[in-house]
Structure 1
Amino acid sequence: MGRGRVQLRRIENNISRQVTFSKRRSGLLKKAHEISVLCDVEVALIVFSNKGKLFEYSSDSSMERILERYEQKLYAERQLTPSNSESQGNLSLECSKLTSTVEALQRNLRQFQGEELDSLNLRDLQLLEQQIGNSLKRIRTKKNKLMHESISLLQKRERKLQDQNNMLAKKLKEKEQTSTEHELQNLASSSSVQPPATIHFPSLTIRGRNKEAQLNLNLVPTL
């Protein structure tokens, strides 16, 4: 007898449901990988468990690139087939896409923080490590640039202050020299010079044995 058709309905037993989910999930991921390799197609698979845990598969190294391609395809199709009025269904679809994009970005952010890494394989972890390394290099480069700019600005301020100090010192020295010269000039002008004095000497009479000579001397010494 052939195997009867399995009726699709929710499995009520929690353990059986979890076991079935694990088996079917592994098989689904395997089939997605096989079709991507055999048929050379891009495959993106996203599965959320009933507890909200994410399981995904991407034939490309970046799930976001496939999702962006998907959104561009939908946008191009809507442009080719314009509708008279925007329906509620289109709005719901757009909302769902935006929600998926936000969730993907939030998941990537948590993974960059070292969380929710259980679903990543070795290749994904290596890619994540490379992305974090590149981000750190850019951060260090920006930090070093800002540090050099700050140091250069401080050096310019230091040179400017030094120039101002030199200028003030020069002005102070000139002012001291000018003050000293004024003091010397004031001292010289305040000192009075006495006019030369005239000294009168009395007449002297010199008597000799045979003659008598008289010498009158008027000396005017200069002081």
Structure 2
Amino acid sequence: MPQAITDYVPLADKFLQHWNDAENALGRAIVLEEGTTRDSLQDLKDALIVAQQAALVAENARQGGMRARDNARAEAFPIARQARKSIASVIPSSEEARQLPVKFLPLTADAQKQLVALRDVENVWSSVNALPANKYASLVVPFTVLVDLQGTQETITLARYKAAVATLATAASAVQTAEQALTQAQQDRKKAIETLAAIFKAYRTVIRGVFPLTSAVYRSLP
């Protein structure tokens, strides 16, 4: 029996051809005990091809989503960290400063969980921008932060940060959707392969029982 996943489609083609030759030699249709026909095998092979293609598409989408997610992280996290530090430094006694997240999850953590703290910063930043201009002498609104992004210092606005967080959220959702699709395709592929393997075994048993050892049909079994 084949070991690699990619072996099953070409092997199914061999069984389909053999099944056709065996029926021609026998002069009638060959139906397995469970009611499986040659057409059943063809349908199952087609289903396996669909599952394999779905798995490939989902894996490509997952990889693309991961790249987009990592790029968004590379922008959102430096801004979030600097915004937290700047707000806490400029208006340390404010209610807004006390609402800042205590820490951020590591970059390798689940992006959906990371977004909780990133959105906290976004909400606090929005609150800071809504403060009266003269409430804190140290505060200039709208509030901006100076961030080193890939070796270049940039003045970042809330709008720019919101866009980075939104991009990360979209990419994280895309990765999650692709992973779910990949899991489903892998399950469908596994089920099709297991069913194919059982059909191959049952078909061999029938052919070896119906045709004599000297028959070309017997000797040409895949």
TM-score (norm 1): 0.27
- Structure with higher Rg: it is 1
Higher relative contact order (CA 8 A, sep 6+): 2
Q: Greater helix percent: which structure?
A: 2
